[in-house]
Structure 1
Amino acid sequence: MNLRTAIKTMLLLVTTVTVFHFCIIFKIIPYEITWGGRLKNDAEMYVFESVSILINIFFIFTLLMKGSYIKQVLSVRTVNVILWVFLILFGLNTIGNLFAKTNFEKLFAVLTLAFSVLVWIILKAKNTEHTAAYKRH
């Protein structure tokens, strides 16, 4: 898989996850089946879901910069450091999802593992791929 395909796949998945978090905030999806079944009330849910949405939006902008879809407001090095942080977080989240209280959330281990693999592919793509992507836009 090349850099552009990995970034487009991640953008689709992260956007879908962001919509999922909005569905929890709007109570279309019950929060009891998320966060390892540990949320106790609506106030906790709003805090956790709002933070999740903000992190996902930040991740989307990082991916857009990496793929040269938007102006590079952060250096390539900074974008790569952010992606390494997300790789670590996705790896830890995969482990956490495996130990979740609900089977629904345990299934998310597959998604976070896929995120980890895709971010790894994005980080390991040759710099020439990134440069070529930047020149196309």
Structure 2
Amino acid sequence: MKHLLSAGVAAHGMLLILSLIVLFHLLIITGVIPFAVVWGGRLHSHSQMLRFETVSIGLNLLMLAVVARAVGRLRLRVNARFMQVALWLMALLFLANTAGNLLAKTELERLVFTPLTLLLALFSCRLAMEQKKTAVPASA
């Protein structure tokens, strides 16, 4: 995978996609996009949507911070092992999300978000593999 996909492409791709996902969820909260098109079409109320969307935005911002730290755009002292584990956990989360999107009731999730989450899973794997070589120890 290292020869097919550079860490730079993976990092920039993740930063872009995750930023757009945060924007997408903000548009759902503001009502620009109807909440019926997300969460597998299973949300039943505005308050339920707010809870799910708030968690989603928070999680995506956390993942943005992990990626930004992994590629040196966020200058924080973080244990290298923690970074690698976080990236592998992100890959697993995106794989699980890919499976969930395949089972969604809405075509938007099946046709648009399934390939996006699969791509994010691949990008996360690539960055996790790179992390071993480039991680800066927490004591640096």
**Fold agreement, TM-score > 0.5:** yes
CA distance 1:126–1:59, change in 2 (3 Å)? closer
Q: Is the 8 A contact 2:83 2:131 kept in 1?
A: no
Larger helix fraction of residues = 1
For 2:58, the equivalent position in structure 1 comes to 54
Structure 1 gap ranges (5+): none
Letter in 1 for 2:114: A
Distance in structure 1 (CA, Å) of the matches to 2:63 and 2:81? 15
Distance in structure 2 (CA, Å) of the matches to 1:126 and 1:31? 36
Distance in structure 2 (CA, Å) of the matches to 1:127 and 1:4? 15
For 1:22, the equivalent position in structure 2 comes to 26
Between 37-46 and 101-110, report the one with greater CA deviation.
101-110
Distance in structure 2 (CA, Å) of the matches to 1:62 and 1:24? 24
Moved over 6 A (4+): none
Please report how far the alpha carbon of residue 4 of structure 1 lies from its aligned counterpart in structure 2 after TM superposition: 2.1
Please report how far the alpha carbon of residue 126 of structure 1 lies from its aligned counterpart in structure 2 after TM superposition: 6.6
For 1:91, the equivalent position in structure 2 comes to 95
Please report how far the alpha carbon of residue 84 of structure 1 lies from its aligned counterpart in structure 2 after TM superposition: 1.1
- 1:69 is aligned, of 64, 68, 73, to 73
- 2:108 is aligned, of 99, 104, 107, to 104
Q: What percentage of aligned pairs have identical amino acids? A: 32
Please report how far the alpha carbon of residue 104 of structure 1 lies from its aligned counterpart in structure 2 after TM superposition: 1.0
CA distance 1:84–1:114, change in 2 (3 Å)? same
TM-score w.r.t. the length of structure 1 is 0.90
Please report how far the alpha carbon of residue 122 of structure 1 lies from its aligned counterpart in structure 2 after TM superposition: 1.0
For 1:114, the equivalent position in structure 2 comes to 119
Q: Is the 8 A contact 2:7 2:127 kept in 1?
A: yes
TM-score w.r.t. the length of structure 2 is 0.88
Structure 2 gap ranges (5+): none
